[in-house]
Structure formats: C-alpha cells, structure tokens
Amino acid sequence: MEPAEIYDDTGAELWFATLSLSNSDTRPRRPENGLYVKNGSRPIELKVANRWTEVEGGFACKLDPQDKCSRGFLLPPGAESCRLRLDYARAVFIKGRKAWFAERLSGWIRFRMSYKFWRWAGFSQYGPSSNWREITLELPLPPKPDGH
C-alpha cells in the first residue's frame, strides 16, 4: 500500500493497494498445469468505519506455474480490511487433439514436420474446467502512517 496522491471530495488522500496472486506449482510450465482465476459471486468489498462497502474493480487472469498476477485498487481513507470472492479452476484440454499428439513427439521429429502438417493439425487449446470453486479472502489492511 502507498499514498495514491489522489484526493476525495473532503480532501482526504486515497491509498493505492496492490493485490498479487501467484501459482506456486512446481510442475513444468505447460498449458495443462495452469490455473484460471476470475471474480466470484460478489464484488470486492472494503470495510470502512465498521461497514462493508462495494468497490469497483475485478480480478481475472490465467496463472501458469510460477506466474504472478497483480491488480491495483484505490482505497478510501480509513479502510480497515478488504474482502474478495474469487473463483478458480484448473486448465483442461479443449480442442486440437492432432496437435496435442504431435507436440509430444521428440523435438527431432517435430522440427522435421512441414508447415502443411501444422496447418492441418492446428493448435492445441486449453481453457478453464467447468468445475469452478469459490474462495473468500478477507485481508486486513495495515494502518496508515500518521500524516497521511
């Protein structure tokens, strides 16, 4: 968190917070080892003066192993905590079975295949599975230093 150098109607300075998610999976960096993240069933909420209020913004990204995804949010003065509901799903194979098989051949064979073969085979594609799960994160915000 840091001062945003943006002020509200009362002259109070807003804060800029960065939320980072990472995929700590140690498997090889391949499309099938990815993770999809999107907004959950409710918007992001901030607790200000013991009251929860909704905030604009969202979170959606695909995280391959060892990837990190960050989003920034403006926070009003006096924000005490932040609540996010995120849906996540693992990556699954969607289409392109011929290309999928060809990609698993040894490099010596793959590099000798003509561009006509690859045009015919297409590309393997991955996407989120239909089994989305929701997680709720409630994050306490650190107190702001005096003078801000």
CA 60 – CA 45 distance, rounded (Å): 16
Per-residue pLDDT for 132 more than 60? yes
Give the Cα-Cα-Cα angle 81, 83, 86 (nearest 5 degrees).
150
pLDDT digits (tens, 9 = 90+) for 81-122: 989 899 999 988 776 666 666 777 787 777 777 778 766 767
CA 19 – CA 70 distance, rounded (Å): 6
Fold of domain 2-93+128-140: Immunoglobulin-like (2.60.40)
CA 37 – CA 60 distance, rounded (Å): 5
Predicted TM-score (pTM) of the model is 0.70
pLDDT digits (tens, 9 = 90+) for 21-47: 898 888 888 888 899 999 888 888 889
The torsion of the CA quartet 90, 65, 26, 73, rounded to 10 degrees, works out to: -100
pLDDT, position 136: 92
pLDDT, position 145: 61
